[in-house]
Structure 1
Amino acid sequence: MNKSRKTKKKSLFRRMVAWIHLWPSIVSGIILVFVCLTGTVIVYGDEIMDLTAGDAKYVTPSGDPRISSEQINENLKKQYPGYMVSEYVFFKDPARSIRIRAFNPKGPSLVMIYMDPYSGKVLKKDTSIYFFFVTAHLHASFLAGEAGHWVVAIATIIFTISCLTGLILWWPKRWNRATRQASFTIRWKARFKRLNYDLHNVYGFYSLIICLVLSGSGLIIFFESLMNTTIRLSGGNLRDLTEVVPRQDSTKVSLDMVPFAYKVLETDHPDKESVSIWNYDQKKLGAFIFTSGNVGLKSISDADIAVYDRYSGQKIDIPAGSLRHRKTENIVWQLHMGQWWGQLGKLSTFLAGIIATSLPITGFLIWWGRRNKKKKPVRKMAAAVTA
């Protein structure tokens, strides 16, 4: 047997890894490109929402007392009848307006409404959030319901396996100066085939950890059993806050939530800049559940939770396991949204998302180039035999 041919022969293990890395990725390639691209678009959703809000984010403090939750809802109903509130966000800065996430159940409309906390005047209805709402659902399910969720989940599992098998294929058999240079640097002046190979190989390695975090957190979000296991491993129990606080009592009169929201920011957690409360929790519970921190569209950075009885105003102590449950869920979402390390985490996630979007494309081009290359020696050999 030819010596060079013998040295080039790959082991059975490496051939199996190469097969697992290639063919499932080829089959799911278009899906992976779409999922990664839509996920990348969402990363800077919070910043874009702040930008589109413009001057509506700010007011001139008048010295008047802040309006009540009843006035907020009445003003909203007058100006936008039919809209229902999902979330209220209050800010510690007295010059910041109230941010209200609202939707119209009769039509595909999700908006952010900015309201003066002193006069109750609606400053702006921003529809930009609807773009991210649609993009998020395209990312999670292609807007195809449960079947779409499963397609994305299976593609994500394939992507995770491809990342791990890619690391095995990337790992040089011997570490020396030449292999280090080939494994960690891109030859920008090389021909297209080599450049494409480097983009796939080198950038794939550099983005590996973040890609695994993104795919792993996505699978945890999709599979309830994985989320429950993660919660247990973090020291939480499976009883969420909504299951341990008092239920709504129609015989009692609820206090106004607004003073408690600002109490959380001024007394309980004075280091936090904003606090969120979800309206669907408020409608069925006998307590106000406030989450303070940097409130984003899907998760809250540096989150802390405070709970008050909505009838007596007394602070409610929540079992540590239930608090850990809520915080663990939030951390998983932070990892998936790129909020784990401030703007550096977002930038890293955004760049990794771009690379992840490109990997199925560069990988396909590598396979296609090698497929065509294999045909050429056969033709040359046939020509030599004929001669």
Structure 2
Amino acid sequence: MMNKLAWRRTWFQVHKWIGLILAILIVPLCLSGAALVWDEPLDRLANPARYAVSGDRLLAPSAYVAAARAALKPGDRIAQVTLPDGHGPVVVAAAPAAAGKAAGKGRGGPPSRTMVYLDPPTGKVLVVADRNAGLVRFLHGLHGSLQLPGVGRTIVGWIGVAMMISSFTGLWLWWPTVGAWLRGLRWRRHRNTDTNLHYLAGFWVALPLFVLSLTGAWISFPAFFGALSGQSAQRGPDPRAAARAAPIAAPALTPEAVIARAGSVARGELRSISWPTETSADWTVAFAGDGAAGSSVKVADDSGVAVAAPARGQGGIARLMRRIHDGTGMGPVWQTIIFLGGLLPALLAVTGVIMWWRARGWKAELAAKQRAKRGLARG
């Protein structure tokens, strides 16, 4: 059985090699996550023309659809109309004419969509842009899959698992070997500034980093963690394939008729309306509600029958994990914590590499001195 010193040496090796092997991935992953806590303000800063609205008064959804069609390419199909939550544009998403063919190829990454940003009171087109282009979308792709469609999500999930282990082992190594644990909060535990930064930042970020790593791994491996939590696996069509399905070109119902039918099932401020597709003949109407989840209603395009939509994913736990991870609806305090939880691990990665490189230097010097002593002894 290993004693305390042996365990400490073991955890040190585990912690060191996790940091060294993953450092080059941890830095962009953590910094992109920190930036995405404030994704809307960042998008407003990067794309001010999208948000140059003249007011908040809303028109009928069909008016926005007509304005967007005039700016789209022939054959493009309306997929969704999203209304602003506050002072912002109405956004109409459209699928390219070839969307139905692309859906069957199993291509990774989000489906191609053209986004039309409209002024709410006038319906004037502000900007037409590719959804998968721009700074914020790049950061989403970097954080969610390292910009590697398909396999990237799995890689990010395993990085999350490794970071959970790193958080635990780092806290073990932080704990002072002599005296009370409060000694560990001292600034000068070491003569080097980077080492002191590593100790203190590692302590304060350990718990938030563990939570963010756990929730990130949960998002990447929903079936595994869902089974552990007792949630049944999601049944039915693959949601990613469904998202790539082409919207139907000429639905039977108008958006206003769909909203009226959905209003008989749910109440709340309208958030979005999604068109039926070639794989699902239902409209989806989303309303704002308590918290971040809100409520959704499915409206059959052929009969107009409206029913409450089942919760997406693996119930409330999966939604909670995502909210904890990205800060949606969690308030400014938690958003600030996870923002720092993105910055500090990047600092830990950099200082950890510096500490390792310095240790290599003094170990090499020590080995050289020992060889010199042995040479003198033989002489």
Q: CA deviation at 1:21?
A: 0.9
Task: Say whether residues 1:331 and 2:311 are aligned partners.
Answer: no
Q: Which amino acid aligns with 2:66?
A: E
Name the CA shift for 1:314/1:118 in 2 (closer, same or farther; >3 Å). farther
1:1-387 correspondence to structure 2 within 5 Å: 11-51=5-45, 52-53=47-48, 56-59=52-55, 61=57, 66-69=59-62, 71-81=63-73, 85-91=78-84, 97-102=89-94, 112-117=115-120, 119-125=122-128, 130-176=134-180, 179-181=181-183, 183-187=184-188, 191=191, 193=192, 195-229=193-227, 232-233=230-231, 238-239=234-235, 254-258=252-256, 268-270=266-268, 275-279=271-275, 284-293=279-288, 302-311=292-301, 315-317=306-308, 322=311, 325=314, 327-339=316-328, 341-380=330-369, 386=376
Structure 2 residue runs without a partner (length 5+): 100-110, 240-247
Q: Percent identity?
A: 22
Give the structure with the larger helix fraction.
1
Contact 2:114–2:128 (8 Å) recurs in 1: yes
Contact 1:305–1:323 (8 Å) recurs in 2: no
Bigger CA drift: 22-31 or 114-123? Answer: 114-123
Output the CA distance in 2 between the equivalents of 1:150 and 1:92.
32
TM-score relative to the length of structure 2:
0.74
Deviations along 1:251-278, one digit per CA (max 9) or x if unpaired, are: x9743334665998999454x5x61344
Q: Which amino acid aligns with 1:206?
A: W
Output the CA distance in 1 between the equivalents of 2:256 and 2:291.
22
Structure 1 residue runs without a partner (length 5+): 1-8, 244-249, 295-299
Name the CA shift for 1:105/1:282 in 2 (closer, same or farther; >3 Å). closer
Output the CA distance in 1 between the equivalents of 2:6 and 2:119.
68
Bigger CA drift: 125-134 or 75-84? Answer: 125-134
Contact 2:313–2:319 (8 Å) recurs in 1: no
SS at match of 1:143: coil
Contact 1:239–1:325 (8 Å) recurs in 2: no
Q: CA deviation at 1:170?
A: 1.3
TM-score relative to the length of structure 1:
0.73
Give the aligned length: 350
Deviations along 1:96-124, one digit per CA (max 9) or x if unpaired, are: 64223456678998664332455433233
Q: Which amino acid aligns with 2:218?
A: I
Output the CA distance in 2 between the equivalents of 1:175 and 1:291.
57
